[in-house]
Amino acid sequence: MTAYQLLADLVLLFHFLIVVFVVGGLPLIVAGNLRGWHWANGWVFRGLHLAAIGIVVAEAWLGIACPLTVLETRLRQQAGLPDYDARFVEHWVQGILYYDAPPWVFTLAYSLFGAAVIAAWWKYPPGRRRA
């Protein structure tokens, strides 16, 4: 394994963790408010979560490729590998992150998810303490 390949795999894993944070953050916010978890309304957690989905939605609307995807692809090219190698973990992480659908599908999905995050922000404002 070359250094470029290792870096590409690390970028892919980091990208996956961001997706888990964005997607998993919303149910945690709702569950946290229903169960009285004070950290679920912390400004840092909520701000990072809103910023993350905001960036995804903006990229989709502006037609900008995700910088992490671009970086990973360039690192794979530097390693002399195809964009998607067939190793087990890499195969499954990429299978979860990358789908074959028209761009409008992603823009719509990201926008709807972003709207749900904003609705949670309104319903459960950051800093709110549940009694």
What is the structure's pLDDT at 100?
78
Which pLDDT score, from 0 to 100, does residue 1 have? 79
Give the model confidence (pLDDT) of 10-19 as tens digits.
998 999 999 9
Residue 99: enclosing H or E segment and its boundaries?
none
Percent of the chain with pLDDT over 90: 66
What pLDDT was estimated at residue 117?
96
* Model pLDDT, residue 67: 94
Residue type, 109: A
d(C-alpha 91, C-alpha 86), whole Å: 5
pLDDT-derived band at 131 (thresholds 50, 70, 90) equals very low
Phi, psi of 49, rounded to the nearest 5 degrees: -65, -45
Q: Can you tell me the mean pLDDT for 49-72?
A: 94
Q: What is the pLDDT, as a whole number, of residue 129?
A: 66
pLDDT tens-digit readout, 61-102: 999 989 998 999 899 899 988 765 555 456 666 677 777 788
Quick one: pLDDT at residue 57? Answer: 96
**Helix-then-strand count for the chain, H and E:** 5, 0
Whole-model pTM: value is 0.81
Choice between 131 and 83, residue whose per-residue pLDDT is larger:
83
Q: First vs last Cα of the chain: how many Å apart?
A: 54
Higher pLDDT, 94 or 130: 94
